[in-house]
Structure 1
């Protein structure tokens, strides 16, 4: 399967809208599964020129397979947070690993970031497996830090430096 990251375009917004309204998916992002397409379009227009973020579509054989985002890009400290969602119909195919590798490559080799970090629910077994396999290191546990699905969840903050990447494409 040919996979690539490409810039998020306006025509991708209906796919993002669908993901953003799936309760199980958004629970992993610690967000409420509620967003109108108009609101999403407005956010897209507002952030299109924001240099502190990059939003990518994971394209698998010319089909929308998910999104990967680099947010809170800090050009002074050279850090950024990475986030990923794989569409339900593409899960279990190893695409999260491929997308994360491509996202890390972009962060380190295009943006010249020093460190990439993420937040992950301590109960997100699949996510933790991917992140650890890539070389992310648990840097701390945030106790009852995020509220989703009616309760508070602990989260790990994990980080990686360029020389710590383990898995290769």
Structure 2
């Protein structure tokens, strides 16, 4: 378990799947998440929990100060690249703007640099998710570039922004 100022992060458990499914089903969340166009059925996710969660990409539930699961955050070491991690985060829309995302990002990034000896942490975000981009910038990430027309949602392609933070930048 990782402890932040507003949240704690722990591995996703089977009991979390229904809540995570509901969050991922929110139209506001789906617009920004960059994920699949359709979610697998909840019963499938529950039945195949061990195959879907925490294998290659670690998924951590984000639990707030009231012990409510407000979202999840993921990380994965990039294959064939030593000490480079990719992260992603999803927060339920009714919990946006409360600092849970920023605290989760800071907590996970600290863990990756301090405990996992990460050299680099990177992410991609859809270019119109300005709230997330501001959050990442405030956590020390910098924009590295764009992938043009990378994300498709509701009949329209959008760019994704590539961002990262390096160990020496974090330790300053």
Q: TM-score range by the shorter chain?
A: 0.7 to 0.9
Report the equivalent of 1:88. 93
Aligned 8 A contact 2:12 2:53 in 1: no
Return structure 1 stretches of 4+ with deviation > 4 angstroms. Answer: none
Report how many aligned residue pairs link the two structures.
165
Matched, 1:54 2:62: no
Report deviation, 1:54.
Answer: 1.3
Structure 1 unaligned regions, length at least 5: none
User: TM-score under structure 2 normalisation?
Assistant: 0.86
| RMSD, aligned α-carbons | 2.0
Matched, 1:146 2:139: no
CA gap of 1:111–1:43, structure 2 versus 1, over 3 A, is: farther
1:1-169 counterparts in 2 under 5 A?
2-31=6-35, 32-48=37-53, 50=55, 52-61=56-65, 62-74=67-79, 76-165=81-170
Aligned 8 A contact 1:23 1:33 in 2: no
Structure 1 stretch 120-129 or stretch 22-31: which is displaced more? 22-31
Structure 2 unaligned regions, length at least 5: none
1:123 match: secondary structure: coil
Report deviation, 1:36.
Answer: 1.1
